[in-house]
Amino acid sequence: MPWTAYATSTENHNNWVYVGCDGHGGVVCKDHTTHHNPAGWIGQGDTYGSDVDCLVPSALTPVTDMSTFNERFIAGGGVLERVCPSCSASHQSIFYKRTGGDVATANLDWNDLFRSNWFSNNNNMGTNFELYSSKADMLAGENKWTYCNYNDHNIGFPRDCGPHGGIGGQWNSLNRGGHAVTWNMP
């Protein structure tokens, strides 16, 4: 499994391999137990206290079958990386991390949202998701992007979103040109 949570030194490390979120702030472990607010857990460099956030994956793999895009995004807890070698340096690698609510019940077509129609319905930065330029930043929760816009039909992710302000022409689209990209997910 690419998802990992680390136990304190007094715990059996094998029982703490993280396999998913329960959608209600709980952490589901390899032994199929669900834990809410687990004191002493360490992951992403932080100790979890009263608010448990689902951990992010330690490894991402390419999506080669687009018919499984939605399934993989939901199973991966709402984390993906978009890789765009032809984009400007700030947009060659973008990490999207879903933060607002259960990914499975968001009632969104993730494939369409990212690849064709980057819209704001149930998809607002700061409320529903965060963007990062690196996996390290995403894991640490540091250097979140500060600007995002939406709602241009047939323009996909990330429209003009940028680390410190709007940056146009870095989007992908199935219908209107844009950049050729690949997608990595847990």
User: Quick one: 144 and 94 in the same domain?
Assistant: yes
Same domain, 66 and 107: yes
Mean pLDDT across the stretch 100-109? Answer: 86
Domain boundary among 33, 55, 77: 55
Considering the domain architecture, whether residues 68 and 121 belong to the same structural domain is answered as: yes
- Are 107 and 136 in the same domain? yes
Range(s) of the domain holding residue 8: 1-55
Q: Are residues 83 and 130 in the same domain?
A: yes
Please tell me whether residues 113 and 152 are part of one structural domain.
yes
Asked if residue 91 has pLDDT above 70, the reply is yes
Of the candidates 10, 35, 55, which is a domain's last residue?
55
163/177 Cα distance (integer angstroms): 23
Reported in sequence order, the residue ranges of the chain that DSSP labels E, i.e. its strands, are 18-21, 27-29, 34-35, 42-43, 46-47, 61-62, 79-83, 93-98, 129-132, 182-185
Least Cα distance to 162 among 117, 125, 120 occurs for 125
Which among 16, 31, 55 is the end of a domain? 55
Q: Same domain for 70 and 100?
A: yes
Q: What total of structural domains would you count in the chain? A: 2
pTM of the model: 0.70
Judgement on whether residues 40 and 19 belong to the same structural domain of the protein:
yes
Per-residue pLDDT reduced to its tens digit, 3-44 = 333 333 233 333 333 334 444 444 544 444 444 433 333 333
Domain co-membership, 178 together with 114:
yes
Amino acid identity at 29: C
Distance CA 161, CA 167 (A): 6
Statement: residue 151 has pLDDT above 90:
yes
pLDDT averaged over every residue in the chain:
77
Do 43 and 101 fall into the same domain?
no
Is the same domain home to 25 and 110?
A: no
Domain check: are 43 and 69 in the same one?
A: no
